[in-house]
Structure 1
Amino acid sequence: INNQLFNGRCEKCNCEGHSLECDPFTGDCINCQHNTTGRRCHQCLPGHYGNPSLGGELGQCHPCACPTIENSHSAQCSLTQLVVGGAAAYGEDAYVCTACELGYDGNKCERQ
């Protein structure tokens, strides 16, 4: 931290399982995978939803389809997490589009 070795020892990168690399001085993650971003790869990229804190592929972020990936009318969506037996389950209703373009409406911006 601040160009000094933290506590005099090496620390493992804390990137939620989405990167194996981090800055040796700041600890910030480098080359986040699975459509994640942030200092700890703890956020989804814009236009994606998921729960990166679940780690690795389970916590990967998925593209928003508002109403389809190819023809999206929203650059943002948010996760509506369904928990089944303590694990997150994702499906058709896993997210809601939150920034529908003018003239579009609905959970997936599917109505004009």
Structure 2
Amino acid sequence: SGSRLRDRDMVVDQSHCFSDRGYNWAFIECPACQCNGHSRCVNNSVCERCGNLTAGTHCQTCIPGYYGDPTNGGKCNACKCNNHANLCHVSSGKCFCTTKGIKGDQCQLCDSENRYLGNPLRGTCYYNLLIDYQFTFSLLQEDDRHYTAINFMATPEQANKNLDMSINASNNFNLNITWSFSSTAGTISGEEMSVIART
């Protein structure tokens, strides 16, 4: 009959539809523009204000601080970094830890192989300084670009003895000096008492 669609009327020109990531489209005809279900198409070409924590010309990525695969209506989830990172990889969710010595996909471990001690699930990680040694630290490598902090811990070998420390820096930095009676410094957030805070 005349009202019935013919097979050739239902053929879609696939060159007009996005076919990356192995998805096959099942539209009778291509949408005006592909916004992955997170926006509406304006002027047949632009996705207007991506929603659902998405970004990109086709709302195809998650906004900073979130990860996932938002294509085809997928969701973005908050980065899970145990309060030691604000950003994570947009696809995998691997956190970009901001304190040197904290590692793991969710910033849940101390880099114990490199002398960092503590517990990032309850506090932070510290580099354990040896007394009477000089240490040099650099945060100039590509892998260091997310670091905003590094923590050190020095434990006097004898009680009731002064501890002298000097710091030379090539750039400006914020300095906080704290002390604790406990040997578990760094494993419990808020355990230390502030002595000096300088910018």
- For normalisation by structure 1, the TM-score amounts to 0.60
Output the CA distance in 2 between the equivalents of 1:60 and 1:41: 11
Alignment RMSD, CA only?
2.1
Output the CA distance in 2 between the equivalents of 1:40 and 1:108: 28
Residue 67 of structure 2: aligned partner: 49
What pairs up with 1:1-112 in 2 under 5 angstroms? 12-19=32-39, 21-24=40-43, 27-53=45-71, 55-56=72-73, 59-67=74-82, 72-78=83-89, 79-80=91-92, 95-97=93-95, 99-103=96-100, 104-110=102-108, 111=120, 112=125
Unmatched 5+ stretches in structure 1: 1-10, 81-94
Unmatched 5+ stretches in structure 2: 1-30, 109-119, 126-199
- Higher Rg of the two aligned structures: 2
Residue 23 of structure 1 aligns to which amino acid in structure 2?
Answer: V
Output the CA distance in 1 between the equivalents of 2:84 and 2:42: 36
- For normalisation by structure 2, the TM-score amounts to 0.36
More helix by share: 2
